[in-house]
Structure 1
Amino acid sequence: MPSFTTSGLSIAYEVTGEGPPVLLIHGFASSGKVNWVDTGWVETLTEAGYQAITIDNRGHGQTDRPHDPELYYPTQMAEDALALLDHLGIEKAAVMGYSMGARIAAFLAFHHPERVVAAIFGGMAMNLVNGLSDGNDIIAGLRAPDLSDLTHPTARQFRIFADHTGSDREALAACMETSRQPMARADVRRIEVPALVAVGEEDEMAGGPEELAELLPQGEALLIPRRDHMRATGDKVFKAAALAFLSEHCSSVPVS
């Protein structure tokens, strides 16, 4: 993967296809490949005429993996995403994030609305405002000596996922400490860009999408049938709704 340096960190990314750019920001313990390539999103977007840009967030994938929790606030990772757009010479892009990536996308849309034409928040509802209640359990699970020591279901789920992706578990634990920083409700109300909130019907981590969509000035809610937090990522209903949303809001985005 190509990379660039910002804030002293080497950030890995990938650009596929041509057309209006869509920046894809992955979730916790994942990577651009796992979240967006392996689930068919990059293929779906490029076949629909978009340029798909994936980024490996700090602490993940082929990007540098510091162990300092002070380097993982969502505002910092949003600045990494912005720096990637600058590196690629992209003035405006649609931004889609999943779970932690949706939190990063929300901070990007709030702080730099002039760079975001539209946003899709997948696997993220009112936990954007309320924070993540299972965060400490996930941290303990990542640092546990062995999977057999874990009984908390969410901790087990993320430990298995982290091991499956070959992640640096100490970097992920540091990331979880600060990346779950909530966004103030008043700030959510000031995200002016069109936003689609898409959450699985069985996603107990995120909750329902309607309340967050109502807070957003141009928010729309999508409930993805019969999907939980992990299985909603590449769902065909999610993809179809995202393509319709992008078609409505991204036709005027300059092609890079």
Structure 2
Amino acid sequence: MLVSERIGQLFLDGDQGRDRLEYTEYGAGDAWVVLLHAQLMPRRMQQPLARALASQGLHVVTLDLLGHGRSDRPADPLVYSMTAFGEQVVALLDHLGAPQAVIGGTSLGANVSLEVAVSAPERVRGLICEMPVLDNALEAGILAFGPILFSARFLPLTIAAVRRLTRPVPRGVVPFWAGIALDTLDQRADSMAALVHGVFFGRIAPSSRQRRAIRVPALVVGHPADPIHPAADAAMLAEELPNGTFVRARSILEWRRDPERLDAEAADFALACWKTPRRSRRAAT
């Protein structure tokens, strides 16, 4: 089933100036779903899932959070935080005229989804959290992003060199996920350092107490053998959330290489969130 796709933009005024965010809409209607990307990756990584969900009648929006993809990339670490990212999602809903949405994402996007559920619960119909980064991911996160921050801050020529090598490669002639990898490597050292610094030294996720107070339905997907996103974190989150359901992926790559099963899980979940009146659902919890 073919679905319409439209690119849009919104502008946010903040203490540091005006920032532009870019998004893509898939499909139409009032059953909104917002999908968010992983750290340093573009919104296009969610394109296959967005198309799959839209083909089931959902109105899906993928957003480049500040510092990512085709949105603005300020070089100030003060503008980057999970709280700020959550506010950007709410601003997107306001811009679209969407009273509520199922909010979902991968890694960073999963954590931002939790932030939205804590800061603006009235705007969240449900959550789809793939690979949340919580307590069990601390050491691996330091090992993964510490060298990136060091290189961007103190060896910026290495980041610039990678960018010069990857930018000229036409995305249309490489496989989809190879193109996503090339887009992820297309970074500017100053903005990447600011982004990683802001996220790295800020609050990674709402506290366990706050997570336990999230009442909306949640689909939590965990991967085995993934040190940065331990399945233990996903299982813990599903246990903490009063209406959480844990789905174990067969591998880290299942949702990328063989997505039919998890696409169906996500579509069934999102459709159920919109078919169930929110007041009735709350009364049942």
State the TM-score bracket (shorter-chain normalisation).
Answer: 0.7 to 0.9
Work out which of the residue numbers 182, 200, 220 in structure 2 matches 1:197. 220
Q: C-alpha displacement at 1:106, in angstroms?
A: 0.6
For the residue of structure 1 that corresponds to 2:72, the secondary structure is coil
Contact between 2:58 and 2:271, CA under 8 Å: does it hold in 1? no
Question: 1:144-199: CA deviations, max 9, x gaps?
Answer: 4448xxxxxxxxxxxx9466552334322211222242322211111221111112
1:155 aligns to what?
Answer: none
Contact between 1:129 and 1:184, CA under 8 Å: does it hold in 2? no
Structure 2 residue runs without a partner (length 5+): 1-6, 160-179, 279-285
For the residue of structure 2 that corresponds to 1:177, the secondary structure is helix
- Counterpart amino acid of 1:5? F
Given the alignment of the two structures, is residue 22 of structure 1 paired with residue 46 of structure 2, yes or no?
no
After TM superposition, the score normalised by the length of structure 1 is: 0.83
Q: Which has the higher helix share?
A: 2
Question: Closer, same or farther in 2 for the Cα pair 1:176/1:253, shift >3 Å?
Answer: farther
For the residue of structure 2 that corresponds to 1:105, the secondary structure is helix
After TM superposition, the score normalised by the length of structure 2 is: 0.75
Mapped to 1, the partners of 2:238 and 2:50 lie a distance apart of 25
Q: How many residues align?
A: 237
Give % identity. Answer: 26
Contact between 1:103 and 1:128, CA under 8 Å: does it hold in 2? no
Q: C-alpha displacement at 1:247, in angstroms?
A: 2.4
Mapped to 1, the partners of 2:41 and 2:59 lie a distance apart of 21
Given the alignment of the two structures, is residue 224 of structure 1 paired with residue 230 of structure 2, yes or no?
no
Q: C-alpha displacement at 1:12, in angstroms?
A: 0.8
Identify the range of structure 1 (5-14 vs 68-77) with the bigger mean alpha-carbon deviation.
Answer: 5-14
Alignment of 1:1-256 (within 5 A): 1-7=7-13, 8-19=18-29, 20-33=31-44, 35-37=45-47, 40-127=48-135, 132-134=141-143, 135-143=145-153, 144=155, 145-146=157-158, 161=181, 164-180=184-200, 181-182=203-204, 183-208=206-231, 209-227=234-252, 232-233=255-256, 235-252=259-276
Bigger relative CO (Cα 8 Å, ≥ 6 apart): 1
Q: C-alpha displacement at 1:101, in angstroms?
A: 0.9
Mapped to 2, the partners of 1:142 and 1:223 lie a distance apart of 34
Q: C-alpha displacement at 1:129, in angstroms?
A: 8.7
Contact between 1:12 and 1:63, CA under 8 Å: does it hold in 2? yes
Q: C-alpha displacement at 1:233, in angstroms?
A: 4.9
Mapped to 2, the partners of 1:18 and 1:107 lie a distance apart of 26
Contact between 1:29 and 1:161, CA under 8 Å: does it hold in 2? no
- Counterpart amino acid of 2:224? E
From the CA coordinates, give the structure whose radius of gyration is larger. Answer: 2
Mapped to 1, the partners of 2:255 and 2:151 lie a distance apart of 23
Question: Closer, same or farther in 2 for the Cα pair 1:192/1:141, shift >3 Å?
Answer: farther
For the residue of structure 2 that corresponds to 1:250, the secondary structure is helix
Contact between 2:105 and 2:129, CA under 8 Å: does it hold in 1? yes
Mapped to 2, the partners of 1:45 and 1:253 lie a distance apart of 20
Mapped to 1, the partners of 2:38 and 2:271 lie a distance apart of 24
Mapped to 2, the partners of 1:139 and 1:163 lie a distance apart of 18
- Counterpart amino acid of 1:218? N
- Counterpart amino acid of 2:199? S
Contact between 1:96 and 1:102, CA under 8 Å: does it hold in 2? yes
Measured on the aligned residues, the alpha-carbon RMSD in Å equals 2.5
Contact between 1:197 and 1:213, CA under 8 Å: does it hold in 2? yes
Question: Closer, same or farther in 2 for the Cα pair 1:245/1:198, shift >3 Å?
Answer: same
Mapped to 2, the partners of 1:83 and 1:142 lie a distance apart of 29
For the residue of structure 1 that corresponds to 2:142, the secondary structure is coil
- Counterpart amino acid of 1:61? G
Mapped to 1, the partners of 2:260 and 2:117 lie a distance apart of 25
